[in-house]
Structure 1
Amino acid sequence: MDPLAALRRPDDPACDVYLTGTVFLDIIFTGLDAAPVRGTESWARGMGSSPGGVANMAAALARLGLRTSLAAAFGDDMYGDYCRDSLERGEGIDLSMSHTVPGWHSPVTVSMAYEGERTMVSHGHVAPPRDPALEGDRECPPRARACVASLVPGEPQEWVATAAGRGSLVFAGVGWDDSGRWDLAALPELGHCEAFLPNAAEAMRYTRTECPLRAARALAERVPLAVVTLGADGAYVADGRTGETARVPAIAVEALDTTGAGDVFTAGFLTGTLAGWPLEDRLAFAGLTAALSVQEFGGSLSAPGWPEVGAWYEGVRQYTLSPEAAAAAGQDPEALRRYAFLDALLPRCGRPGPLRRAVPTIGFRRA
């Protein structure tokens, strides 16, 4: 399904969303009864491998039908070959802005999920920059409807202003501020952003508030759309242009692995924004895609496509029609009715073949 089909014009950019960042090979262990204890051996009941890092966002966008371009470095090892093949051939992501670095090994993250949380160990080295001579006449960043940035306090990213100047809507997240300053002035790229999507803890620290809803409204004074994720309590958005706000509770699911859930949430919200959906629908869809993703291994290959969204919606129709069935399943029929906007979308959905999922190995030999 192409969620932007009705909006496309002949002079549109070839790229819907541009991203840049580091691709990791993620190795995920699930089914641990507790955190690993020093001096002991722990056995996991489940394991998966998949591209991670910025690949989580790229795959989530591509699986929702957006034309996605990723600029990243890939090692010339087997991990790098696996990640590149998974993204380019498996997900249809444009990697023409990416490059392979001879002699550079791929970054790796090992994630251990237990008790609804996860612990990660990563290893890698900064990739050498790409030779500008290899760019030729291509624009980088390319002209795109949107781009996604991960802001780092005190580390300016000039490409964000360039992308915004070329007409891209910038959607930005931010990591934990290890300096402890939590100073919005250290994020100058916010001035070029369409949407800022921190979690509740980050939003409250940056705004010096004790309520995530107040934090969102404060951030909306600096960026058009401030979206604050509230974990199990859902998400809240404030529109700085119109003053509109919306809050949508989370969908109750049993999480297998939360890796990449925030990236999938952002991809869902970005998709709805580019498609011009009402604010509450965008937020509900973002929460739905994130909820579906945590029921699979890994970040990138856990992202749902439209068939998964459709299958979920077919399953919940019975709950909206039968309060008794909803109560038995622990679902709120009123809450599920907010997804009725999917009725107009899902008849058009479809994607050939099943989606790739994370498996314990990085690949089997082909006969």
Structure 2
Amino acid sequence: MSAQPHPFDPLAALRAPGDPACDVYLAGTVFLDIIFTGLDSAPVRGTESWARGMGSSPGGVANMATALARLGLHTSLAAAFGDDMYGDYCREALDKGEGIDLALSHTVPGWHSPVTVSMAYEGERTMISHGHEAPPREPTASPTALGLGRAPIDPEAPGCPPPARACVTSLAPGDGQEWIAIAARHGSRIFADVGWDDTGRWDLGALPDLEHCEAFLPNAEEAMRYTRTDCPRAAARALSERVPLAVVTLGAQGSCAVDGRTGESAEVPGIPVDALDTTGAGDVFVAGFVMGSLAGWPLADRLAFAGLTAALSVQEFGGSLSAPGWSEIAAWWSRVRAGGPRAGAAGGAGAQQADGPCEGTYGFLDAVLTGCPGSAPRRRALPTIGFGRTTGAR
């Protein structure tokens, strides 16, 4: 696989001598994702189901890392990789294929890569995962070694976490991550989402790293449960009392946000699309929002851009390799300005025609895309990981 170039730098005008070489740092677990699409319904016990489509790609934290890198952000990832074929594939796809800096990652001899099988149907997905916690990085046997889903402070890498404009993480109840406080103390802007609370307590006080976050981006169900509200917008207002910027994702309906520092609020509707696979859409949304935040865009523009990148991603197979690059974004905007379908490579039955409100919502792209060159199509997920080069999904 040859590295994907990033000829368009959306932060070029903001870069100055002495700035961190890393735009975004993140850490976690890389999975091999195997995705089945085109299922008419959930599998039924005792029967065999055939999927009309299948794709394989790096998953887990690779979804976010790839989405960030494809938006031209200099991305550093700390993760453990197995020394099996799955691990080799994921490392090569991220390093050579996406240009992600893996200097803080490491390979674990004898450790097999975690795997997730995702089944997409009826606009949703069901996932089955298997994996074991990675053993401590030799020669260190401390709890700071990388494990499933957690981020390390590696004593062998004193620059970890490295100086970065931003860091992205996922919060978990009762599980503090020391590196987040260190990164925030050194000036990194912390963006975090959160997973489902299996304890059922839904206590914001159990998220010890929330106090270090600039932006918190839960989905609507998570936000309402954490705030004991029955409306996503009310949840966003309540969360803004705990974190500077609260963003609540509404799935296909869009997103809303409240800036607790200024009192500003914004809401942007979703873009109608025919979703092929929603795996990783939340990660792509966060990546788009981080991109807009680092560029200093207004709140509504950040929400619109994040929603656009997520809408484009769900029309491709896989989590990481479905993420759009600037060429796909520019092509979509060109179709909108020409009066064609608002989203998707071919529009799809669910796509709507461009109209005044759409052009008004995304008009900021005119300035953003100035000087954005066309580029070769991005790599997409294929049924097998056995091919050295990929040309598209099947």
- Give the alignment's TM-score, normalised by structure 1: 0.95
Paired residue for 1:330? 352
Paired residue for 1:173? 193
Note closer, same or farther for the CA distance 1:349–1:52 as it changes in structure 2 (3 Å cut): same
Paired residue for 2:311? 291
Q: Give the 5 Å matches for 1:315-354.
A: 315-319=335-339, 330-331=352-353, 333-337=355-359, 338-350=361-373, 352-354=375-377
Q: Give the 5 Å matches for 1:53-92.
A: 53-92=60-99
C-alpha contact (below 8 Å) 2:273/2:351 kept by paired residues = no
Paired AA for residue 232 in structure 1 = A
Paired residue for 2:113? 106
Q: Give the 5 Å matches for 1:1-367.
A: 1-131=8-138, 136=156, 138-319=158-339, 330-331=352-353, 333-337=355-359, 338-350=361-373, 352-364=375-387
SS in 1 for 2:247: strand
Shift of 1:349: 1.8
Paired AA for residue 355 in structure 1 = R
Aligned CA-pair RMSD: 2.0
Shift of 1:156: 1.0
Structure 1 runs not aligned, ≥5 long: none
Q: Distance in 2 between matches of 1:321 and 1:85?
A: 35
Q: Distance in 2 between matches of 1:273 and 1:150?
A: 18
CA-to-aligned-CA distance 1:170-199 (integer Å, 9 cap, x gap): 000000001000000001111100100000
Shift of 1:137: 5.5
CA-to-aligned-CA distance 1:6-36 (integer Å, 9 cap, x gap): 1101100110000000000000000011111
Q: Distance in 2 between matches of 1:128 and 1:351?
A: 43
Q: Distance in 2 between matches of 1:259 and 1:31?
A: 14
C-alpha contact (below 8 Å) 1:48/1:358 kept by paired residues = yes
C-alpha contact (below 8 Å) 2:341/2:354 kept by paired residues = no
Note closer, same or farther for the CA distance 1:132–1:65 as it changes in structure 2 (3 Å cut): farther
Kindly tell me the number of residue pairs found equivalent between the two proteins.
363
C-alpha contact (below 8 Å) 2:82/2:111 kept by paired residues = yes
Paired AA for residue 283 in structure 2 = D
Paired residue for 2:144? none
C-alpha contact (below 8 Å) 2:255/2:267 kept by paired residues = yes
Structure 2 runs not aligned, ≥5 long: 1-7, 141-153, 390-394
C-alpha contact (below 8 Å) 1:320/1:336 kept by paired residues = no
Q: Distance in 2 between matches of 1:321 and 1:41?
A: 37
Identity %: 75
C-alpha contact (below 8 Å) 1:320/1:333 kept by paired residues = no
Q: Distance in 2 between matches of 1:78 and 1:189?
A: 35
Q: Distance in 2 between matches of 1:303 and 1:250?
A: 17
Shift of 1:331: 3.7
Q: Distance in 1 between matches of 2:366 and 2:340?
A: 13
Paired AA for residue 356 in structure 1 = R
Paired residue for 2:151? none
Paired AA for residue 265 in structure 2 = T
SS in 2 for 1:203: helix
Note closer, same or farther for the CA distance 1:93–1:31 as it changes in structure 2 (3 Å cut): same
Q: Distance in 2 between matches of 1:289 and 1:321?
A: 16
Paired AA for residue 84 in structure 1 = R
SS in 2 for 1:202: helix
Paired AA for residue 4 in structure 1 = L
SS in 1 for 2:332: helix
Q: Distance in 2 between matches of 1:234 and 1:353?
A: 29
Q: Distance in 2 between matches of 1:332 and 1:228?
A: 26
